[in-house]
Amino acid sequence: MTEPLVDRVIRRQGWLEPVADVIQKAVNGAYRVLGKPGAALRSALHGTRIFGHPLHPALTDLPVGAWTVGVVADFVAHFSNHIPTEAGDLALAVGVVGALGSVLTGYTDFHDTEGHERRVATAHGLAMTLAVGLDAASLGLRWWAGLNLHPLAVGLSTAGLGVLFAGAYLGGHVVFGIGTMVDHLAFIVGPQEPVNVGASTDFAEGTVRCVDAGDMAALVVRRNGVLCAIADVCTHAGGPLHEGPLEDGVVTCPWHGSRFRIDTGQALRGPATFPQPTFTVREADG
């Protein structure tokens, strides 16, 4: 297959691999040090429990919008008297504060990437981090250096906006081109009529079974005598849930550790944010 230019270029950047290793180890180490609260914080930053939707893309709108407004305000203030110089300064400050949440959620999502996906995500993260650094430096010059260095500060924020747009393009490619953090079951349609998947004796209490339910893999478990079934393909990255451990009615994906309730499909721990589709199970006459 012919790859897009951006993929061909990034595949040749071998230096991204050791950088990605360092970042992922740092992120993992930070959450590991925090212990159990760290696991809860990680799921919250993924967007798992509160939103049921990836949190990072929602938070990026604030700095992108604020920094764009800030640069426009800087140039309008420079070439006219319609708005004060402080307007661009305030917009820049709002963007820097908002970027903190984007950085935390972005690197949290990045921790579970691999292969070429990880390389593109690394390039995206480095570009966005550089943009944050340029805008933070611009803000520092505005606050502590006074008007003498204001043109330099505007130059830094303008350069930061350019880097931001380039990084945003890479981020869009990670999601829409590669499929990172999207629902991997978004276009799957389950059976509309009952499908025979076995005899009652095939499903012992507490035993995980993977069955074919109308060309859709389903994980079936008998819990307290009742059969529960959810989609076997993890919504996060497509991992086979039936290969993961089951404990107290919760199955853990063997690939990235996402956890789901087998009765409702609810995602309890990230990186998955979307719930598993559930099946209606009927049992009659064995």
Q: Are residues 22 and 119 in the same domain?
A: yes
pLDDT of residue 149: 85
One-letter amino acid at 120 equals V
pLDDT of residue 146: 65
pLDDT of residue 1: 62
Q: Are residues 155 and 188 in the same domain?
A: no
Q: pLDDT tens, 251-281?
A: 999 999 999 999 999 999 999 999 999 999 9
Q: What is the rounded average pLDDT of the residues 235-255?
A: 94
Q: What is the length of the chain?
A: 286
Q: What is the rounded average pLDDT of the residues 1-11?
A: 88
Q: Are residues 229 and 275 in the same domain?
A: yes
Other CB atoms within 10 Å distance of the CB of residue 93: 17
Cis peptide before 84 (omega within 30 of 0): no
Q: What is the rounded average pLDDT of the residues 233-237?
A: 93
Among 125, 160, 178, give the residue marking a domain's end. 178
Q: Are residues 237 and 136 in the same domain?
A: no
User: What is the C-alpha to C-alpha distance for residues 53 and 234, in angstroms, rounded to an integer?
Assistant: 15
Q: Which residues pair with 240 in a beta bridge?
A: 233
Q: pLDDT tens, 213-231?
A: 988 899 999 999 999 999 9
108 pLDDT more than 90: yes
Contacts of 178 by beta carbon, 8 Å cutoff, 6+ apart: 116, 117, 120
**Residue 209 sits in a domain of what CATH number?**
2.102.10.10
* Domain boundaries, position 198: 184-286
Q: Are residues 41 and 145 in the same domain?
A: yes
Grade residue 109 by pLDDT with cuts at 50, 70 and 90: very high
Q: Are residues 169 and 197 in the same domain?
A: no
Is the Cβ–Cβ distance between 272 and 234 less than 8 Å? Answer: yes
Q: Are residues 40 and 132 in the same domain?
A: yes
Cα–Cα distance list, 18 to 115, 122, 141, 190, 224 (Å):
12, 10, 33, 42, 48
**pLDDT exceeding 70 applies to what percent of the chain?**
99
User: What is the C-alpha to C-alpha distance for residues 57 and 272, in angstroms, rounded to an integer?
Assistant: 15
